[in-house]
Chain A
Amino acid sequence: MIEKRLAEEILGIALSGGGDFAEIYQELTQNGNIRMVDGKIEAIGDNVLSGVGIRTFIGTQTVYATTTDITREGLIRCAKSVAEAVGEVKGAVSLHLCERIFPNIHPVTTVPASAEMKHKIDLLKSACNTAKNYDQSIVQVAGNLLMVDHSILVANSEGLYTTDRHIRTRMAVNAVASNGHENQSGSCAPGRGMGLEVFDLFRPEDIGREAARQAVVNLNASYCPAGKMTVAIENGFGGVIFHEACGHSLEATSVAIGASQMAGKLGQMIANPKVTAIDDGTIPNGWGSVNIDDEGNPTKRNVLIENGVLKSYMVDRLGSRRMGLPMTGNSRRQGYEYEPTSRMTNTFIDNGPDKNEDIIASIEYGLYAKEMGGGSVNPLTGAFNFSVREGYIVRNGKICEAVRGASLIGTGSRIIKDIDMVGQNLATGQGMCGSSSGSVPTDVGQPLIRVSEITVGGR
């Protein structure tokens, strides 16, 4: 990593064009990936990413430059290009950095890169073989074991010089069931900010079994009917509904420039009073947790909505300057190639007052979305969509036949008012969230909830 002395020199040069703040972000990442398809280890990915991003601010304007040339000369060239893009270059600014060490709240027992390859392969095989043997209709299984070891350095002209290392591990199994003329798929992909000890929490066999079970359920399901319905959305990855419908609209990225449905609504009742929503980057070993964000601020537990009232946005440094609000430890980026922006970490709707059995019993006719897929949103209008990976029709308060191919659409401001029952089995699910600063790991979560009415896309 860049030494403190050199960091001081680079920042001084970056500021020489007249910027009022400068920052260095360095990344060294080892990406490991083992892929098993068709019962065989097909590929082993082993990639080292290494580069630096240098950024300056002039008020709310930013200039950002990246390089993979991390020699002193390469870094100076990069810093000069930043200064030149800001304005007329004068003498380098002199500054002093003071090293800071933040506590590591995400301990790792077994660092994946140092474990025996055979052990990692056995874990993956165990999951894939269980999926393949689950049912004779399972025709194909693909499994991935993903291991990321990500070290960063952040130094800035306010005197900060700090480093962090973050390890995350995830296994994804995708199973395909076929009856000869139709395919249906199922998947399961748990992960944590942990090493291989994550598989003490999630047994590989259970991951494989769950993916296969879902594929078989879908193969035997009929198409979901279309129209407006009451929908119960299960816990875990069901939390993607808040992530898409509301979370993105609370990021300073869109709020600060007025491109969000939630802009100017702090302190207002924006959701059903049963809804309390939190973004918490401090959950030990959480999938979306980090010790410090990508601007070097420690992550926090931010209550976004409390009993229906909007309490906080998620704010990065640029957003803070634009909005006059404090930073919330939400600045994130995929890596050095991306300028950071405000992003979610572990975001969830907290447990509510309703009993889960009452929620299902309350639905005369509707949809029970047991497993959700991904989705997307337009933060300006709040129009969102997401897919249902496993769904069932609810009739007279009872969960009945499975249906497939459903999607849910609506607008964020409406759906958070229409969440009229909130259960008590809070759990999270893992996702990769894509936005302007790249793809970052985020946790979504909620207990079982009921949405009084939403458009279900089907046929």
Chain B
Amino acid sequence: MELSRAKQIIFDAARAAGLEEYEIYYMNSSSLSAEALKDALSAFSCGSGGGISLRYMVNGKMGYASTELFTESELADLVRRACDNARYIEKEDTAPIFAGSESYATTNMPKFVPLSAAEAKAMTLDMQKQIYAAHEGVTDGTQAACISSEIEIYLCNSHGLELSNRAGLNGVYAMPIVKIGEESADAFAFALCSDEEKVAELAKKATDKAVLKIGAGSVPSGKTNIVLAGSEMRSILSVFSSAFSARNAQLGLSLLAGKEGQKIAADCVCITDDPMREGAPMQTHFDGEGVATYKKDIVKDGVLTTLLYDLTTAAKAGVASTGNGMRGSYASQVNVAPFNFSLCPGTLTEDELIAKAENGIYVTAVKGLHAGADATTGDFSIESEGFLIENGKKTTYVRSFTIAGNFFELLKNIDSLSDTVEWGIPGGFTVFGAPAALIKDMSVAGK
């Protein structure tokens, strides 16, 4: 069924039921992927599908219902379901269905052309070949993969607001396994196809990473200086990003509540959220409530300038929405979340950062953050891997140790940052980035 027809059915049913304020949110994803194992393709998949949801506001109560079943009766029934649900909501939503921002910026995404099946297959096989060629120890179980995915979003409401966006990305993965002697190790690397330089060195980068893990040593327990690689600082930032949500702050679930305007981090710490970051493949000019998005400082020179707000939390705080009402999928309710959220770069090169640490550990992998880190308390204790830093230089690879601390203390204890931000893999329209960070005297548990 055409989207315009689906909209017509829902809007007709809404009018017939006497609804006054309502909104539909549609999301469609198309994707294809290819995977290789040994010297052949092992899997190919493709798919396209979407869903639609209806939000309905009555007497300050918001009802939701969604479906992937695009039949006339099912779509019309969304109205009944959303109304039924709204009756039981107790939370007052002070923000109504949104009439629209004064103006919307234009996204400047790199041109996206989805990969064809043939291109994806060829690219995957080529990457697999490159991985095997990168080192003689590369062995069975090694995989390469290629993905192409595109998201289309359409928001339309009873105020006549109508917004749409379409964004996509093509990417390639290298996942080598190397076996040297009796020991095996693996690694993972990803690059956007648009970043040709990174794609060209991906196989070697991933394979080198796996080889370095062979014969890893251990570290003693105690306190030491830690340099978190940009990719790992980014992972930690992403887990604790929910502390910057005004929703969590208002619910008492964030220790940043009431701290706007106050110093929460070291002077060198700046954090921004830029939904239309230049060069980013997934950009959006409106959020999940139809509010225009824009670039903003979250932390400036260590001071918390603003939390992230959607319409409801902004109304409660008496401020304007920061355009961070997020709908992770068509079925999700509005939540508060960042778009392109990053810790800003410092001035030192990564080598200079390592030299400054003198002795300690350069952490290149943190694992199990979903369990080992708690955004409400800020506490983390996480399995890590990396290199020893001895006399200002990276030396032996080490693993089987944990680093532990508290995110809010870590922000204050960042000594310095590297000059290059490493961006992660976008999840929908959200992506995180960070430079490498030097943190002094962190707790380590090892042998």
Contacts and interface: CB of A to CB of B under 8 A. Distances in A.
A176 B251 CA distance: 10
A63 interface: yes
Nearest to B378: A183
Q: Chain A: interface residue count, which band?
A: 35 or more
Interface string B25-42: 000000000000100111
Given A64-B43, A226-B445, A43 B89 contact: yes
7 contacts: A40-B90, A142-B251, A339-B45, A374-B370, A375-B368, A405-B379, A409-B445
Contacts of A405: 379-381, 404
Nearest to A254: B141
B381 A51 contact: no
B367 A43 contact: no
Contacts of B376: 176, 183, 185
A37 B248 CA distance: 11
B85 A44 contact: yes
Task: For the complex of A and B, list the 5 residue pairs with the smallest distance between their C-beta atoms, beginning with the closest.
Answer: A457-B402, A459-B443, A226-B445, A66-B47, A68-B49
A458 B331 contact: no
Nearest to B373: A387
Contact of B88 (A44, A182, A406, A455): A44
A245 interface: no
B305 interface: no
Contact of B368 (A48, A184, A386): A386
Contacts of A53: 47
Interface of B: 37, 40-51, 53, 62-70, 74, 81-82, 84-85, 87-91, 117, 139-141, 143, 177, 184-186, 221, 251-253, 255, 331, 333, 367-368, 370-372, 374, 376-383, 399-405, 443-447
Interface of A: 28, 31, 37-38, 40-51, 53, 60-70, 81, 84-85, 117-118, 121, 139-140, 142, 176, 178, 182-185, 223-224, 226-228, 254, 257-259, 337, 339, 373-376, 378, 380-381, 383-387, 404-407, 409-411, 455-459
B85 A457 contact: no
A139 B374 contact: no
B377 A185 contact: yes
A376 B368 contact: yes
B253 A176 contact: yes
Contact of B184 (A40, A257, A381): A381
Contacts of A84: 117
Contacts of B221: 226-227
Nearest to B255: A183
Given A47-B53, A456-B445, A459-B404, 5 more contacts: A48-B74, A176-B376, A376-B367, A385-B402, A455-B447
B374 A226 contact: no
A380 to B, nearest CB: 5
Given A257-B141, A406-B381, A455-B445, A374 B400 contact: no
Given A41-B91, A44-B88, A458 B381 contact: yes
A407 B44 contact: no
A129 B243 CA distance: 25
Contacts of A64: 43-47
A50 B68 contact: yes
Nearest to A37: B251
* A contact patch SS: strand
A258 B139 contact: yes
A325 B370 CA distance: 34
A373 B87 CA distance: 36
A34 B429 CA distance: 26
Contacts of B42: 60-62
Contacts of B47: 53, 64-67, 337
Contacts of A380: 141, 177, 184-186
Contacts of B368: 374-376, 384-387, 407
B367 to A, nearest CB: 6
A60 B379 CA distance: 45
A405 B84 CA distance: 43
A61 B186 CA distance: 23
B353 to A, nearest CB: 23
B415 to A, nearest CB: 18
Contacts of A258: 139-141, 177
A63 B45 contact: yes
B137 to A, nearest CB: 14
Contact of A376 (B40, B251, B252, B370): B370
Contact of A50 (B63, B67, B367, B446): B67
A427 B252 CA distance: 34
A456 B49 CA distance: 45
A385 B371 contact: yes
B68 A49 contact: yes
Contacts of A337: 47, 49
Given A183-B255, A226-B445, A407-B383, A85 B44 contact: yes
Contacts of B139: 258
Given A61-B42, A259-B186, A457 B371 contact: no
A411 B400 contact: yes
Given A42-B91, A43-B89, A383 B383 contact: yes
B98 to A, nearest CB: 18
Given A176-B253, A386-B368, A410 B89 contact: no
Contact of B89 (A41, A62, A68, A459): A41
A374 B186 contact: no
Contacts of B177: 258-259, 380
A139 B63 CA distance: 27
Contacts of A70: 69
Nearest to B140: A258
A48 B68 contact: yes
A412 to B, nearest CB: 12
Nearest to A30: B67
Contact of B402 (A31, A176, A259, A455): A455
Contacts of A406: 381
Contacts of A49: 51, 68
Contacts of A37: 91, 251
B392 to A, nearest CB: 25
A81 B44 CA distance: 11
A375 B371 contact: yes
Contacts of A375: 368, 371-372
Contacts of A43: 62, 64, 89, 91, 333
A385 B252 contact: no
Contacts of B255: 183
A325 to B, nearest CB: 17
Contacts of A48: 66-69, 74
A43 B47 CA distance: 30
B371 A376 contact: yes
B51 A68 contact: yes
A66 B211 CA distance: 37
A258 B177 CA distance: 10
B424 to A, nearest CB: 17
Nearest to A85: B44
Contact of B252 (A62, A117, A139, A224): A139
A381 B383 CA distance: 14
A445 B148 CA distance: 39
Nearest to B35: A62
Specify which of A69, A140, A226, A410 lies most central, judged by the most chain B CB atoms within 10 Å of its CB.
A226
